[in-house]
Amino acid sequence: MNEPAGPIGVLAIQGSYHLHLRALERLGVKSREVRKPGDLESLAGLILPGGESTVMSLLAREYGLFEPLRLLALSGLPCFGTCAGSILLGRGQGQPPRLEAAPVELLRNAYGSQIDSFTAELTLEPLERPFHGVFIRAPRIVKLDPPARALGIHGGLPVLVECGNLLLATFHPELTDDLRVHECFVKTCAQGRTS
């Protein structure tokens, strides 16, 4: 695999960021925890983890990260959002304020509450074999506008979406030992920005 030109940042203000750091470490890729605007310098890509999107959005604004994150995502920096992270990258009604970097509308907690969390074997376009998808109080992707497109569908709804250099997953690949989705993202980071 080609090396990304810089470290891959992981937004580390709330949520399951440590599992993404571990996945990157297992892939032999340099990473950096992002907690303040200066941590965003010279990144080859950025992961927005799962967690609680309302808290993450609030803290991002409090730490002065919200606008820099939005500008980076819009400028073509490869960004990968999982669950709450994908909520932040996309659009939607009500709370929390989102980065609106991808024309993807997500409805929070739309599969139900914590006990309605589920797993499913997913067929994902970039992968030859199914991927074990873990959905925890996941959002539903209710609308996609071009150039966003679904790379995986479950129950009639997109669960993995690509839009330029942005990748949005409503499941948690970092909760499995399977590194294939992270590997796809690292490849995008190695290719560099689109603009």
Catalytic sites, residue numbers: 83, 172, 174
Among 70, 137, 140, 154, binds ligand GLN (CB under 6 A): 137
According to the binding rule CB under 6 A, does residue 47 interact with ligand GLN? no
Subset of residues 142 to 161 that bind ligand GLN, contact rule: CB under 6 A: none
Q: For the chain, list the strands marked E by DSSP.
A: 8-11, 31-34, 45-48, 79-82, 104-107, 118-122, 131-135, 140-144, 149-154, 157-163, 166-169
**Closest CB to ligand GLN among residues 16, 188:** 16
CA distance 73 to 59: 18
CA distance 150 to 169: 10
Q: State in angstroms the smallest separation of the CB of 195 from ligand GLN.
A: 29
Q: Which stretch binds ligand GLN (CB under 6 A): 5-13, 36-44, 79-87, 153-161?
A: 79-87
**Closest CB to ligand GLN among residues 31, 57:** 57
Contacts of 65 (CB under 8 A, 6+ apart): 11, 13, 34, 36, 37, 40, 59
**Closest CB to ligand GLN among residues 33, 52:** 52
**Closest CB to ligand GLN among residues 95, 194:** 95
Contact 163, 1 (CB under 8 A): no
Number of chain positions touching ligand GLN (CB under 6 A): 11
Tokens of 147: 């150039």
According to the binding rule CB under 6 A, does residue 48 interact with ligand GLN? no
